[in-house]
Amino acid sequence: MTGFRLADGGRIDRRTKRNFTFDGKARWGYAGDSLASALLAQGQMLFGRSFKYHRPRGILGAGVEEPNALVTVDRGPGRKTPNLRAPSVALHDGLAATSQNRFPTLKTDLIAVNNMLSAFFPAGFYNKTFMWPRAAWEKVYEPIIRRLAGLGDSPTTRDPDHYDATYAHCETLVVGAGPAGIAAALEAAASGGRVFLIDEQEEIGGGALSDPAQWAWLAEASAKLAAMDNVTVLPRTTAIGHYHQNFVVAAQRLTDHLPVDEAEGPREKLWRIRAGEVVLAMGAIERPLVFEGNDVPGVMLASAAKTFALRYGVAVGRKLVVMALHDSGWHDALALHKAGVNIAAIVDLRREIAPELAEAARDARIACYPGYAVTGVSGGQAVNGVTVALAGVGKGQKLECDAVLMAGGWTPTVHLWSHAKGTLRWDENWGAYVPDKTHENLRCVGACAGDWDFGSGLVRGLLPAPKPLHESKAFVDFQNDVKARDIGLAVQEGFRSIEHIKRYTTNGMATDQGKTSNLNGLQIASGVLHRPVTDIGLTTFRPPYTPQSFGAILGHHKEALFQPLRKTGIDDWADAHGAVYENVAQWRRARYFPQGSEDMDAAVARECRTVRSAVGIFDASTLGKIEVVGPDAAEFLNRMYTNPWKSLEPGRCRYGLLLGEHGFIIDDGVSARLAPDRFHLTTTTGGAARVLNMMEDYLQTEWADLDVWLTSTTEQWSVIAVQGPKARRVIAPLVEGIDLSPEAFPHMAVREGKICGVDTRLFRVSFTGELGFEVNVPAEYGRMVWEAIWAEGEKHGAAAYGTETMHVLRAEKGFIIVGQDTDGTVTPDDAGLGWAVGKKKPDFVGKRSLARPDIVAAGRKQLVGLLTDDPQAVLEEGAQIVADPNQPVPMTMIGHVTSSYHSATMGRSIAMALVAGGRDRMGETLHIPMPGKTISAKVVAPMFYDPEGSRLNG
């Protein structure tokens, strides 16, 4: 034996050395080692410090249940990962691991002073103190507690790695590739269906990896599975959760086991697997025992010691004592003995030991202590002996050893079963919950089903001890430093259910999610309360099974792919012409086009002036568009919108107002009747999908008798608004087949023809108050037509304008923007749009709600205009309005500013506002209290420019 490495055995490759560092010191191991086995082989017993008391801690388990040995692995800039479990970290060349939660070093941790003060920090201590003086909690106590809490350090820079994700479908998904899982996969594969076999470890085999007798069989089965086309085997893949209808999410680790310079491609891959049948073969996890000193480094699970010896060729000590309550401890001890590990003694609380086990131990010259319990462990940072006593209370007897193995029985891994809302039943033989019923096509096989022969044992977590419970330092949850006495204290303080006990003590809430502590906690609570375990309840397992990187979960959904950014066909042109953008719903839209050193105000003022004096061109393609077709199209719109539609003649347009059934405005837009049975609807940019869905809803479910078809055409059309007195002159040379004269083509009309040789639906509409056209062309020609219009426009001094100018121009005319001047609580009358409600219509969506008492009551907020007394003062949008500026806070607010701009046209500021009883306040002066000053403004009609509408004619 070199160090703690056994002379032979294990699945490690002794010809291939791996160099790595731990806390900066050079170490080495073999290919096939885990970080834990390599460090153990070099005699490292101390792996970390506990969460609360900073007690020295070693390895407990050899797998995902490990609570103590958490490390940070540094794979270069931005690639630091905290809280990895050393037994699950595959060793590779250049691995750089550091221990956590210690200051300054693992061996000399000054914060271990907490341990000496632990009497003052029992479960729930923080509820009982830190309350005086009142301000000190946030200023003093909480910052200290926060600095002490937490395990490793969060990354602080952007992660350069990327993560993959995929969907998969199969007839059978087997989770866990131990003997039971492999058998299930082979059986399922034989029937020809698609089979996925996934396992969290570096290689498949599960428990068989720790049993050399099974290796030949395992190799054969692996080869057989690999050769089958219908089988996908995924090692290093953890099923993190089971969701509705056999939707299992699994995460595959692709590169972390490789040296940094060999790691290519994504770091992890998320598999979202929908399976016909899910077979859980997740095995069982051995339970630790709860006794004084059970957390000294060197005290670990018997199964872990066996795995380290037989799979990795590492002895966890030179002289081991086994504390067993279960036959499996004897089996493991004998296997270890056979592998050359020195087992000094087996202590078992049971007086009666199965004769064949006792005999085998005798043959191996292992001292046996039936009826005894370990009552104490000596050693600080490593075990140097144990005290054993008959029945735990007899005279203590010291045994020299450097490691203690615990065999407390087995807990079936029912996590995914529980995720699926499968029920559990208590199995007295296992001393654990085992799967019972499920409504999914889901079954458990092997140990996780409670169907595995580990032998028999005593069911109790807490060993009898000479000290009373409230004085003992026997740990239940190692990572969270929960002692058996904390559970006793919780019960003493009136916490009865396991959910309460868990939350009060934090038992089972550490990063191992209670894999080794839940059952022991439950048993101890049951003992203290003198009630059966099943009365105490059980804690629910929630996904994920083991902690899972955010990166794999979000996959490709980051940066540009977080959400699609929609761009119009003209977006490139805007970009090339210096547009500043804003995001509107999923779209980006040009907000303004600054020239030279212009800021937004200057650019907008110029754009506004140009539209009013010459012509402006605006990309309105983001407007939602719906084609409504069918003999009942007019009837349908008549029912949907507030306005009458049946009387609208083909070739004409109408402003439509859409309410929810609750009577409040939810959308608007100008729509055209192209033919008796065909309408071209427009919606707001953000509302397109919502409106279409709503219309489909009514059409399909309320008025299925109407013969109407709805099609979203938002992306079929590019829309170019040409607005201003010269608008007609700009488009005239480009348009064919449409008479543009005012007589032939009046305001609010639509014509079909050609522009630049392309089919167009040409609207004569205006959201600016100027003569205006909206040119609809098939989206693929949008850029071409835009450039042609722009070329013509330049001859007339045109400006391209963006959404900000559009907003100012429409506000000058008092046109509302749904979502800005309305907010989901505004009726047509509130918005001054009573004229858009068909008075004679018997019904339309939302009509009945408009008759509700509060909607017809006086004093509702109504849309008005505001003119500040100081014409240069621009109100802030969202500013609140009061009648009496001198009242104390809280003030009575009567409304708020919805839109506010400096109007270059008017040479002053203008604003729109919703004000209680606003239309009765015309001429009244209201006040807008701002920090440090109050602005006064006069209520006016929300129409600031050209109230006669004469400019519509150019």
In this chain, which stretch among 541-549, 673-681, 744-752, 943-951 interacts with other proteins, using CB under 8 A?
541-549
Distance of CA 745 to the CA centre of its chain: 54
Count CB neighbours of 346 within 10 A: 30
Write down the least CB distance from residue 29 to other proteins, Å.
24
- The footprint of other proteins on residues 195-214 (CB under 8 A) is none
Site string for other proteins, 563-602 (x = CB under 8 A): x-x----------------xxx------x-----------
Q: Which amino acid would we find at residue 547? A: P
Q: Which is nearer to other proteins, 330 or 541 (CB)?
A: 541
Judging by DSSP bridges, how do beta strands 163-175 and 268-280 pair with one another?
A: parallel
Q: Which is nearer to other proteins, 535 or 869 (CB)?
A: 535
Q: How far apart are alpha carbons 321 and 338 in whole angstroms?
A: 15
Contact 630, 652 (CB under 8 A): no
> Judged by CB under 8 A, how many residues of this single chain contact other proteins?
128
Q: Which is nearer to other proteins, 182 or 498 (CB)?
A: 498
Write down the least CB distance from residue 169 to other proteins, Å.
10
Six-digit token pair at 952? 């519509």
CA dihedral 350, 351, 355, 360 (to 10 degrees): 70
Six-digit token pair at 249? 């999410």
- The footprint of other proteins on residues 833-862 (CB under 8 A) is 842-843, 847-849, 851-855
**Which DSSP string corresponds to 230-298?**
TEEEESSEEEEEEETTTEEEEEEE-STTS-GGG--S-SEEEEEEEEEEEEE---EEEPP-B-BTTTSTT
Q: Which is nearer to other proteins, 439 or 577 (CB)?
A: 439
Contact 868, 897 (CB under 8 A): no
Residue keyed to tokens 């000590």: 317
Q: How far apart are alpha carbons 542 and 554 in whole angstroms?
A: 19
Write down the least CB distance from residue 83 to other proteins, Å.
5
Q: Which is nearer to other proteins, 516 or 776 (CB)?
A: 516
Q: Which of 661, 759, 869, 920 binds other proteins (CB under 8 A)?
A: 661
Site string for other proteins, 443-482 (x = CB under 8 A): ---------------------------xx-----------
Residue 113 CB burial class (10 angstroms; 0-12, 13-18, ≥19): exposed
Q: How far apart are alpha carbons 160 and 438 in whole angstroms?
A: 42
Q: Which of 504, 618, 679, 801 binds other proteins (CB under 8 A)?
A: 504
Q: What is the DSSP letter of 34?
A: B
Write down the least CB distance from residue 687 to other proteins, Å.
13
Q: Which of 99, 232, 548, 868 binds other proteins (CB under 8 A)?
A: 548
Write down the least CB distance from residue 480 to other proteins, Å.
9
Q: Which residues contact 454 (CB under 8 A, 6 or more apart)?
A: 284, 326, 327, 328, 331, 409, 410, 447
- The footprint of other proteins on residues 927-946 (CB under 8 A) is 929-931
Q: Which is nearer to other proteins, 147 or 425 (CB)?
A: 147
Q: Which is nearer to other proteins, 305 or 462 (CB)?
A: 462
Q: Which of 635, 823, 924, 946 binds other proteins (CB under 8 A)?
A: 823
Q: How far apart are alpha carbons 207 and 413 in whole angstroms?
A: 13
Q: Which is nearer to other proteins, 502 or 654 (CB)?
A: 502
Does 690 bind other proteins (CB under 8 A)? Our answer is no
Distances (CA, A) of 841 to 34, 638, 642, 697, 853: 77, 8, 8, 21, 21
In this chain, which stretch among 200-208, 327-335, 348-356, 820-828 interacts with other proteins, using CB under 8 A?
820-828
Q: Which is nearer to other proteins, 249 or 349 (CB)?
A: 249
Q: Which of 80, 728, 921, 951 binds other proteins (CB under 8 A)?
A: 80
CA angle 168, 169, 172 (to 5 degrees): 120
- The footprint of other proteins on residues 22-61 (CB under 8 A) is 51
Q: Which of 19, 166, 492, 595 binds other proteins (CB under 8 A)?
A: 492
Write down the least CB distance from residue 143 to other proteins, Å.
8
Write down the least CB distance from residue 541 to other proteins, Å.
10
Identify which of 915, 912, 918 has the alpha carbon closest to the alpha carbon of residue 944.
Answer: 912
Write down the least CB distance from residue 183 to other proteins, Å.
28
Long-range contacts of 186-190 (CB under 8 A, 24+ apart): 186/221, 186/224, 186/225, 188/277, 188/279, 189/225, 189/228, 189/230, 189/231
- The footprint of other proteins on residues 129-168 (CB under 8 A) is 129-132, 134, 137-138, 142, 145-147, 149-159, 161, 163
Q: Which amino acid would we find at residue 569? A: G
Judging by DSSP bridges, how do beta strands 861-868 and 749-755 pair with one another?
A: unpaired
Q: Which of 454, 475, 664, 773 binds other proteins (CB under 8 A)?
A: 664
Identify which of 102, 96, 101, 97 has the alpha carbon closest to the alpha carbon of residue 85.
Answer: 97
Six-digit token pair at 405? 């193995």
Strand, helix or coil for residue 587? strand
Write down the least CB distance from residue 158 to other proteins, Å.
5
Site string for other proteins, 88-127 (x = CB under 8 A): -------------------------------xx-x--xxx
In this chain, which stretch among 456-464, 548-556, 630-638, 715-723 interacts with other proteins, using CB under 8 A?
548-556
Write down the least CB distance from residue 845 to other proteins, Å.
9
In this chain, which stretch among 34-42, 385-393, 640-648, 926-934 interacts with other proteins, using CB under 8 A?
926-934
- The footprint of other proteins on residues 779-818 (CB under 8 A) is none
Q: Which of 14, 398, 542, 577 binds other proteins (CB under 8 A)?
A: 542
Q: Which is nearer to other proteins, 153 or 451 (CB)?
A: 153
Distances (CA, A) of 511 to 61, 202, 488, 804: 14, 21, 23, 51
Q: How far apart are alpha carbons 238 and 181 in whole angstroms?
A: 14
Q: How far apart are alpha carbons 153 and 100 in whole angstroms?
A: 8
Does 880 bind other proteins (CB under 8 A)? Our answer is yes
Q: Which is nearer to other proteins, 244 or 395 (CB)?
A: 244
Q: Which of 16, 19, 105, 693 binds other proteins (CB under 8 A)?
A: 693
Identify which of 78, 79, 108, 89 has the alpha carbon closest to the alpha carbon of residue 22.
Answer: 89
Q: Which of 511, 526, 643, 671 binds other proteins (CB under 8 A)?
A: 511
Contact 440, 12 (CB under 8 A): no
Q: What is the DSSP letter of 754?
A: E
Six-digit token pair at 140? 């003093």
Site string for other proteins, 229-268 (x = CB under 8 A): ------------x-xxx-x-x-------------------
Q: Which is nearer to other proteins, 676 or 824 (CB)?
A: 824
Q: At what angle do helices 327-338 and 355-363 cross, to 10 degrees?
A: 20
Backbone Cα Rg of the chain: 38
- The footprint of other proteins on residues 391-450 (CB under 8 A) is 421, 439
CA dihedral 760, 764, 770, 775 (to 10 degrees): -10
Write down the least CB distance from residue 126 to other proteins, Å.
6
Q: Which of 493, 598, 632, 635 binds other proteins (CB under 8 A)?
A: 493
Contact 53, 481 (CB under 8 A): yes
In this chain, which stretch among 173-181, 354-362, 619-627, 692-700 interacts with other proteins, using CB under 8 A?
692-700
Q: Which is nearer to other proteins, 280 or 771 (CB)?
A: 280
Residue keyed to tokens 């995460």: 251
In this chain, which stretch among 325-333, 516-524, 671-679, 871-879 interacts with other proteins, using CB under 8 A?
871-879
Q: Which of 889, 907, 923, 932 binds other proteins (CB under 8 A)?
A: 889
